[in-house]
Amino acid sequence: MVFSFSLGVRDPGSRARRGTLHTRRGSVQTPVFMPVGTRATVTGVSPDELSALGVPILLANTYHLMLRPGPELFRRVGGIHEFMRWPGPVLTDSGGYQIFSLPSERTVSEVGARFVSYIDGRIHELTPEGSIRMQTAIGSDIMMVLDECIAATADEREVRAAMERTHRWALRGLGARENPEQALFAIVQGGLFPELRRSSAASLGAQPFDGFAIGGLAVGDTRAEREDMTAFVAEILPVAAPRYLMGVGTPPDLLTAIGCGVDMFDCVIPTRLAWQGTAFTSTGRVRVTRGVNRLSDRPLDAACGCHTCGTYTRAYLHHLMKCGEPLGPRLLIIHNLHYYLDLMRQARDAIDGGIYATFARQRLAEMDRLEHAEASA
């Protein structure tokens, strides 16, 4: 089955919209949050547990999977789905952000990026064509072109140069695609400069990509700058194609971007904060390692229907985290992913009901009041 995207209803009070991604491994309702499974695993959670949570699609990372286990293994076993025993769709990031995050250990040229492996110190090269070959071996359902990601705070000359190189790399990636069943998304760059973003959206939007990502945000910009640029770019992207905001993902970020017409999200926040002992709840963020939870018989979130909240007390979660037991963050990850997935479900229901603008306004007001607060009892 060739990838396609169908648009559904739109919210009358915002630019929020419903849609469906049709992939060879099933359909995905949007707006959607994709848990990050960087190395063919969502840290600490099994594929069966992800299925039980109702996760519709995962994200994996080309850079990390290229270094280990490498393309030969994926070709031998038949791709990432067989390798990790995950039946649903997978989107693979191209590796551009990981290259950006290693400034002292890489060089970028028109050819691509040369970098030092964090595993064995060997020199590797990742080109636009090589990224597509690796993603083809991985067998992901949605691939991303390789882009040059730079800090959002870079000056206009640097941002323009990186954007133009991203466009050239995108065309090379498009030419390297081998399997028409694997969708290919382009990445709009341009930093915090509206005219560069407009140029990027126009240039890439004229090419036969299957979807478009908004890249280069959450890399030094403020929340206000991120929200303004997301709204600006989403409005000028092709209407009939899915829109993906890369790597941005606090709950307020998601609700605001959905209201701008964004369809897809990923972020490590729900898993990373779980490892630090933090959970998202209906009463704000809860740090379970706080002393107030040591003897608490309350669930993590009484309003939550996840396995963690229905089974374990805050005292037990506090104990696990204080003891350094791996079960602690595992249970918090299950809860946080449930929270994110349920937030997406509520958003889709609100769009279907034509009340998203009101829903988002109310939820954002609650989150702004509670986002950085911890439950006191």
Please report, for the chain, the start and end positions of each structural domain, with discontinuous segments joined by +. 4-266, 273-370
| Long-range contacts of the stretch 293-299 (C-beta < 8 A, 24+) | 293/317, 293/318, 294/318, 294/319, 296/377, 298/377
Tell me if 271 sits within 8 A of 333, measured CB to CB: yes
Average pLDDT (307-336) is: 98
For tokens 């933090």, the residue is 278
Mean pLDDT of the chain: 95
Question: How far apart are the C-alpha atoms of 301 and 312, rounded to whole Å?
Answer: 10
Q: Active-site residue 93, yes or no?
A: yes
Q: What is the pLDDT, as a whole number, of residue 375?
A: 42
Provide mean pLDDT across the span 163-180. 97
From 93, 141, 210, 263, the catalytic residue: 93
| pLDDT confidence bin for 96, thresholds 50/70/90 | confident
Residue closest to 70 by CA, chosen among 124, 109, 146: 124
Distances (CA, A) of 250 to 82, 112, 343: 31, 32, 11
- Long-range contacts formed by 222-230: CB under 8 A, 24+ apart: 223/252, 223/253, 225/152, 225/192, 226/253, 227/253, 227/256, 227/257, 229/192, 229/194, 229/197, 230/256, 230/257, 230/260, 230/262
Q: What is the pTM of this model?
A: 0.96
Cβ(212)–Cβ(176) below 8 Å: no
pLDDT at 153: 86
369: confidence class by pLDDT, cuts 50, 70, 90: confident
| pLDDT level of residue 190 (50, 70, 90 thresholds) | very high
In sign, the C-alpha dihedral spanning 80, 82, 85, 87 is positive
**How far is 323 from 70, CA to CA, in rounded Å?**
35
Q: Which whole-number Å values give the CA distances from 107 to 110, 117, 124, 162, in the listed order?
A: 10, 13, 11, 13
- Evaluate whether 244 touches 272 at the Cβ level (below 8 Å): no
Bigger pLDDT: 34 vs 118: 34
pLDDT of 141 strictly over 80: yes
Residue 289 is encoded by which pair of tokens?
């390692």
Q: Which of 253, 263, 266, 301 is catalytic?
A: 266
The answer to whether residue 352 is catalytic is no
Averaged pLDDT, 34-60: 98
β-strands 211-214, 183-188 pairing: parallel
Question: Percent of the chain scored above 90 by pLDDT?
Answer: 89
Residue 103 has pLDDT above 70, yes or no: no
* Sheet order of strands, 90-93 included: 32-34, 264-266, 243-245, 211-214, 183-188, 142-144, 90-93, 58-61
Residue 371 confidence (pLDDT) = 60
Q: Name the band, by pLDDT with cuts 50, 70 and 90, for residue 104.
A: low
Residue 65 · residue 73 · CB < 8 Å: no
Residues contacting residue 29 through CB under 8 Å, at least 6 positions apart: 18, 19, 20, 56, 348
- State yes or no: pLDDT of 27 exceeds 90: yes
Phi and psi of 206, rounded to 5°? -85, -5
Size of the chain in residues? 377
Spatial CB neighbours of 186, under 8 Å, sequence gap ≥ 6: 145, 170, 174, 204, 207, 209, 211, 212, 213
Lowest mean pLDDT among 103-117, 229-243, 346-360: 103-117
**Does residue 167 have a pLDDT over 70?**
yes
Decide if 211 contacts 183 (C-beta within 8 A): yes
Identify the CATH assignment for 4-266 out of 3.20.20.105, 3.40.50.720, 1.10.10.410, 3.40.50.2000: 3.20.20.105
pLDDT of residue 376: 42
Looking at residue 71, its pLDDT comes to 98
Mean pLDDT over 80-107 rounds to 89
- In this prediction, residues 316-340 reach a mean pLDDT of 98
pLDDT band of 377, cuts 50, 70, 90 = very low
